[in-house]
Amino acid sequence: MSIPSTNKYIIAFLEYLQFEKRYSQHTIISYQTDLEQFFLYALTDYETEHPKQISSSMIRSWLAQLKEQDVSAKSINRKISSLKSFYKYQLKQGLIIVSPLTNINSPKISKRLPSYVEEKDIDTLFKHVEFADTWEDKTKRLVMLLLYNTGIRLSELIHLKESQIDTSYQQIKVLGKGNKERIIPVNADVINELNVYTSNKPATAVNNVFVTSKGKPLNPRYVYGFVRSYLSLVTTVKKKSPHVLRHSFATHLMNNGAQLNAVKELLGHSSLAATQIYTHNTIEKLKDVFAKAHPKA
């Protein structure tokens, strides 16, 4: 990955993320964008781009400017996180003694419940929606089936290799964020469908599980397109994306009594905090049941 930044401290940090932390290119580009944006501001307004000369007041001034520009609290939080990681690395390198981010607080953001597709609508999708007997439609159906049955991320699915499917133990090995591996059980029917699918791949196909009719890897935008199209046939939820199938996987597990820790491991979350949002969906479902069933509700 080429790094166009001229700030040698940013370059060193991004190389650390790439080669030591093994972050994805997408994540590294996000860090790079945030850091270059801040240091351009520091250079323009304070005539410095040296990390050692940055103060808390400079950072607060930048954040205030972002707020005036109506940048969302979520985006501002990400930028603060990028700077905190950058300065944590500078502490580790001995460039600074105290981080200018020590007293910088992230703005609070309202937590939105993740959108998900109802179980009955998922049932309609896989049992009653017609798919043509073509390689393209077989791919579309199986992609959505695996997204829902395992909760894997779109990037994980696109890069999934045949060697990651363990037929004997009915499971798949997924390489997630930060190159962390996790094992996800898959029911026998889906495993069988995967085996049939991979055994009929084009002769020139790459080793990815899912490929086009020409044997090429799937394009993320292509997957987004057909998932949105098929979900539109069975649900009215506003968001219709591959990630909504991941949300549906987690929500349905929670609604049917799965332990929070187990869902955390299946999703590949690094902490329970990211998984706990699904408990809110469970509570909302209980409230709905109460409102419909209790005579005094």
Bridge partners (DSSP) of residue 171 are 166, 185
Cβ–Cβ < 8 Å for 141, 233: no
Cβ–Cβ < 8 Å for 63, 76: yes
Residue-wise pLDDT tens digits, 35-52: 999 999 999 999 999 999
Q: 259 with 219, same domain?
A: yes
The DSSP 8-state label assigned to residue 161 in this structure reads B
Helical (H) or strand (E) element with 231: helix 220-234
Residue-wise pLDDT tens digits, 61-97: 999 999 999 999 989 999 999 999 999 999 999 999 9
Q: 279 with 189, same domain?
A: yes
Q: What is the pLDDT of residue 117?
A: 96
Which domain does 267 fall in, by range?
119-293
Active site residue 228: no
Per the residue annotation, which of 79, 153, 240, 247 is the catalytic one?
153
- Confidence band for 295, pLDDT divided at 50, 70 and 90: confident
Active site residue 214: no
Active site residue 238: no
Residue-wise pLDDT tens digits, 252-268: 999 899 999 999 999 99
Residue-wise pLDDT tens digits, 235-247: 999 999 999 999 9
Could you tell me the two tokens for 86?
């950058």
Per the residue annotation, which of 60, 228, 243, 280 is the catalytic one?
243
Q: 73 with 174, same domain?
A: no
Q: Is 74 within a domain?
A: yes
Q: 72 with 128, same domain?
A: no
Could you tell me the two tokens for 252?
């349905």
Per the residue annotation, which of 159, 228, 239, 269 is the catalytic one?
269
What is the domain count for the chain? 2
Q: 180 with 265, same domain?
A: yes
Per the residue annotation, which of 177, 182, 228, 239 is the catalytic one?
177
Active site residue 269: yes
Per the residue annotation, which of 9, 89, 230, 278 is the catalytic one?
278
Q: What is the pLDDT of residue 290?
A: 73
Give the end-to-end CA distance of the chain in Å, rounded to a whole number.
59
- What does the chain come to in residues? 297
Q: 165 with 281, same domain?
A: yes
Considering only CA atoms, which of 246, 287, 235 is closest in space to residue 118?
A: 235
Report the distance separating Cα 83 and Cα 213, nearest Å.
44
Q: 166 with 50, same domain?
A: no
Q: Is 128 within a domain?
A: yes
Task: Residue 215: give its domain's CATH number.
Answer: 1.10.443.10
Q: 74 with 130, same domain?
A: no
Considering only CA atoms, which of 218, 212, 219, 223 is closest in space to residue 246?
A: 223
Instruction: Determine how many CB atoms are found less than 10 A away from the CB of residue 122.
Output: 22
Q: Does 177 have pLDDT greater than 90?
A: no
Per the residue annotation, which of 246, 247, 252, 264 is the catalytic one?
246
Instruction: Determine how many CB atoms are found less than 10 A away from the CB of residue 75.
Output: 12
Q: 83 with 125, same domain?
A: no
Q: 65 with 123, same domain?
A: no
Task: Residue 34: give its domain's CATH number.
Answer: 1.10.150.130
Q: 138 with 273, same domain?
A: yes
Q: 276 with 137, same domain?
A: yes
Q: What percent of the chain has pLDDT over 70?
A: 97
